[in-house]
Chains A and B, each alone.
Chain A
Amino acid sequence: IAGITQAPTSQILAAGRRMTLRCTQDMRHNAMYWYRQDLGLGLRLIHYSNTAGTTGKGEVPDGYSVSRANTDDFPLTLASAVPSQTSVYFCASSDSLAGHNEQFFGPGTRLTVL
């Protein structure tokens, strides 16, 4: 099935725990992104990767890390979760050379940190 998948769908996590959100795309897009969306707010970019092997910081990178070992996978890690990281997390991918940079979003992970 073409597209972008995320796991888990939702998670409740104790503060201080480590958590990795998974993201996989099969569209061979070069660029991938992680966003968080809080109630009443738009999407804010956490980290991005323009190509396998490279990553960069977005608007709100603190407390998160990413890696891009290959084209398809882009996991997001919370090293020590805090309640302010309670949010819906969306992974996205795009062919950034396509001009309009249409981004395709995964279904999201709803994360609650207690």
Chain B
Amino acid sequence: GQSLEQPSEVTAVEGAIVQINCTYQTSGFYGLSWYQQHDGGAPTFLSYNGLDGLEETGRFSSFLSRSDSYGYLLLQELQMKDSASYFCAVNWSSYKLIFGSGTRLLVRP
């Protein structure tokens, strides 16, 4: 079967750094993506790792280790607006994704 594991909930303080981990087991692997979803909204793309290492986009970074079937999303200088659900997703074919169950991030003042 195919599975992705990520924590269900994380709480952090405004201005802090938080890391959301994702481990996966899939039949195919082209890369690991991260999506953000605010309550009542649609998922929006944050980042993609096709190769091992760190990708940085502003306050957000994403890391991948294919040998460990592991990745993480790092959010720095947390802001209240970062409170949302974050989903890791494996590109298991060139155009299909399988999503994790999501991590709900609550940022407190």
**Residues of A that sit less than 8 Å from B by CB:** 31, 33, 40-45, 48, 50, 58-59, 90, 94, 96, 99-108
**Cβ–Cβ contact A105 & B44, under 8 A:** yes
In whole angstroms, what is the CA distance A100 to B45 when docked? Answer: 10
**Cβ–Cβ contact A108 & B42, under 8 A:** yes
Chain B residues lying within 8 Å of A104, measured Cβ to Cβ, are 45
**Cβ–Cβ contact A100 & B48, under 8 A:** yes
**Cβ–Cβ contact B96 & A48, under 8 A:** yes
In whole angstroms, what is the CA distance A102 to B31 when docked? Answer: 11
A-B contact list, 26 entries, CB within 8 Å: A41-B101, A42-B4, A42-B89, A42-B99, A42-B102, A43-B43, A43-B99, A44-B99, A45-B96, A50-B95, A90-B42, A96-B94, A99-B50, A100-B33, A100-B48, A100-B50, A100-B91, A101-B48, A101-B97, A102-B45, A103-B45, A103-B97, A105-B42, A105-B43, A105-B44, A108-B42
Chain A residues lying within 8 Å of B63, measured Cβ to Cβ, are none
B98 within 8 A of A: yes
Chain B residues lying within 8 Å of A100, measured Cβ to Cβ, are 31, 33, 48, 50, 91
Interface residues on B, range: 20 to 34
The 4 closest A-B pairs by CB, nearest first: A96-B95, A42-B99, A100-B48, A105-B42
Known: A90-B42, A100-B33, A105-B44. A45 touches B50 (CB 8 A): no
Chain B residues lying within 8 Å of A50, measured Cβ to Cβ, are 95
**Cβ–Cβ contact B91 & A101, under 8 A:** yes
Residue in A closest to B97 when the chains form the complex, CB atoms:
A103
Known: A42-B100, A100-B33, A102-B45. A94 touches B50 (CB 8 A): no
Chain A residues lying within 8 Å of B31, measured Cβ to Cβ, are 100-101
Residue in A closest to B31 when the chains form the complex, CB atoms:
A100
| Least Cβ–Cβ distance between B23 and chain A, in angstroms | 14
B72 within 8 A of A: no
B24 within 8 A of A: no
